[in-house]
């Protein structure tokens, strides 16, 4: 990108990001789910489910995540850490697309194990020098328990398989970015916003290609890194703020 085009693009995307990075954005977005809570661990758990169930139409995502949390009595941290075997019956027959109760039960099992050793889910994302390494290590940690179902692996993406990891990158954006605009939480302080990778969905992809920010044909981890590298030219400290500009404009088409 030449300097003049870069300056114009920065101005355009800064304006778009500012327009969408506001509390009004919450109304129809999965990030509204963790905003229902105030306890750190409730935010982490509800946010993880909201992000990983973010397939398809947003109203359906909100409905299914709300249903899942209701099955946990709208107290996800308490449910995860204090449930009895009898309580797990509430989770049976839950389904969203290909995510079913077998997957949900393992998620709850793993979260109970993890919170038994750690105070925050942030600890699970600290292993590695880059976001790519951290997501690979998170995936490996998540499936490190001996009873991890093979079928559940498809619900937690990893760059090791070439995935763009849209949902996990979105989750990290929620928990790591901190700008006081009321959308992202900024509760995790041991990871830097400068290291985040931009989530790519069909809306972000379309806008990124239109603006010349993404050339790679396949939407995979390399594409996510390419897009983010170009966004870092616009704002090295907070490149993923432009997720609001790209997604917001794309979904509003």
Helix axes 221-234, 202-210, angle to 10 degrees: 50
Question: Where are the chain's structural domains?
Answer: 3-251
Q: What is the mean pLDDT of the chain?
A: 95
Mean pLDDT lowest for which of 54-58, 171-175, 249-253? 249-253
- Residue 249 has a pLDDT of 79
Q: Are 99 and 155 in contact (CB under 8 A)?
A: yes
- The arithmetic mean of pLDDT across residues 54-58, rounded, is 91
Check whether 248 has a pLDDT greater than 90.
no
- Specify the pLDDT at position 3: 55
pLDDT tops 50 at residue 253 = no
* pLDDT for position 240: 98
| pLDDT > 50? residue 94 | yes
Q: Can you tell me the mean pLDDT for 195-206? A: 96
Q: What is the pLDDT of residues 134-173, one digit of tens each?
A: 999 999 999 999 999 999 999 999 999 999 999 999 999 9
Position 200 pLDDT exceeds 80: yes
pLDDT at 250 over 70: no
SS (H, E, C) 3-72: HHHHHHHHHHHHHHHHHHCCHHHHHHCHHHCHHHCCCHHHHHHHHHHHHHCCCCCHHHHHHHHHHHHHHC
pLDDT at 4 over 90: no
228, 239 Cβ separation under 8 angstroms: yes
Compute the average pLDDT of residues 194-218. Answer: 96
What's the pLDDT tens digit per position in 98-133?
Answer: 999 999 999 999 999 999 999 999 999 999 999 999
What global pTM score does this model have?
Answer: 0.96
Rounded average pLDDT over 197-204 = 96
CA 179 from centre of chain: 17
The whole-number pLDDT of residue 14 equals 97
């Amino acid at each position: 990108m030449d300097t003049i085009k870069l300056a114009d693009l920065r101005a355009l995307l800064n304006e778009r990001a500012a327009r969408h990075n506001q509390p009004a954005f919450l109304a129809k977005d999965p990030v509204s789910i963790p905003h229902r809570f105030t306890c750190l661990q409730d935010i982490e758990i509800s946010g993880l489910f909201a992000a990983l169930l973010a397939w398809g139409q947003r109203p359906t995502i909100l409905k299914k995540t709300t249903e899942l949390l209701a099955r946990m009595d709208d107290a996800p941290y308490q449910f995860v850490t204090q449930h009895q075997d009898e309580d797990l019956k509430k989770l049976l027959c839950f389904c969203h697309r290909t995510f079913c109760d077998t997957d949900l039960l393992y998620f709850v099992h793993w979260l109970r194990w993890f919170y038994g050793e750690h105070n925050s889910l942030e600890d699970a994302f600290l292993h590695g020098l880059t976001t790519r390494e951290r997501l690979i290590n998170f995936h490996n940690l998540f499936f490190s328990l001996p009873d991890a179902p093979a079928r559940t692996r498809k619900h937690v993406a990893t760059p090791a398989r070439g995935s763009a990891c849209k949902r996990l990158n979105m989750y990290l954006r929620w928990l790591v970015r901190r700008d006081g605009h009321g959308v992202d939480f900024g509760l995790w302080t041991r990871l830097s916003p400068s290291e985040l990778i931009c989530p790519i969905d069909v809306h972000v992809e379309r806008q990124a290609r239109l603006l010349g920010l993404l050339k790679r044909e396949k939407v995979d981890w390399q594409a996510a890194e390419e897009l983010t590298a170009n966004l870092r030219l616009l704002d090295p400290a907070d490149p993923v703020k432009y997720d609001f500009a790209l997604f917001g404009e794309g979904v509003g088409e």
